[in-house]
A and B are shown apart, each in its own frame.
Chain A
Amino acid sequence: GAGVSQTPSNKVTEKGKYVELRCDPISGHTALYWYRQSLGQGPEFLIYFQGTGAADDSGLPNDRFFAVRPEGSVSTLKIQRTERGDSAVYLCASSLSHSTDTQYFGPGTRLTVL
């Protein structure tokens, strides 16, 4: 079956611009997570959705980062006034429910801020 998909696969933008990154979770998965992976590091948690609501956004680094999941399926991570330090691979994962541990990851979006 289809896994987690993310678009675009690569995004190059200029410092100060706004970007949106999209995640399509596995069909039927109610829990969705965003992580950020810098070069040579493990993924770092950003935000977790259960259904439409953000159940835990403690990993968002600052108020330039925002994520939505209006219909409980597709999610969009939004970054305002991008900075060079935002350059990383942004990973999305989904799991069947909040009580199911296994998280399945998408291929990621590589964001480069020039």
Chain B
Amino acid sequence: GENVEQHPSTLSVQEGDSAVIKCTYSDSASNYFPWYKQELGKGPQLIIDIRSNVGEKKDQRIAVTLNKTAKHFSLHITETQPEDSAVYFCAASIKQAGTALIFGKGTTLSVSS
């Protein structure tokens, strides 16, 4: 079945710096790749997603890139702010209908001011 690897597990940056989180997936049939942000004691919140027919997507300070050939995708956060501090999860769908998500183990991002 699908397997999603996520790196790094922890990431510390200074406010204003950029942060990059990388994920790889194993199932070439995966076609949907969302990123979630989870704050302590809360459920995951979708921040951006990308489908396999697109190579890059941007939303203000957040961007995601997808390389289908290499089966990896990345989250880029620019001009980081302390409120960006949270755990970030990448995920991949294993079915054409985009049902069950397979998640990475998460990256704890700390932004210090």
Contacts and interface: CB of A to CB of B under 8 A. Distances in A.
Contacts of A98: 97, 99
A4 B4 CA distance: 26
Contacts of A101: 32, 34, 49, 51, 93, 98
Interface string A3-36: 0100000000000000000000000000101010
A33 B44 contact: no
Q: Give the secondary structure class of B's interface.
A: strand
- Sorting the interface of chain A by its residue count into under 10, 10 to 19, 20 to 34 or 35 or more gives 20 to 34
B42 A107 contact: yes
Contacts of A45: 100-102
Nearest to B93: A101
B100 A48 contact: yes
A56 B100 contact: yes
Nearest to A44: B103
B89 A43 contact: yes
Interface in B18-75: 32, 34, 36, 41-46, 49, 51
Interface of B: 4, 6, 32, 34, 36, 41-46, 49, 51, 89, 91, 93, 97-106
Interface of A: 4, 31, 33, 35, 40-45, 48, 55-56, 58-59, 91, 98-108
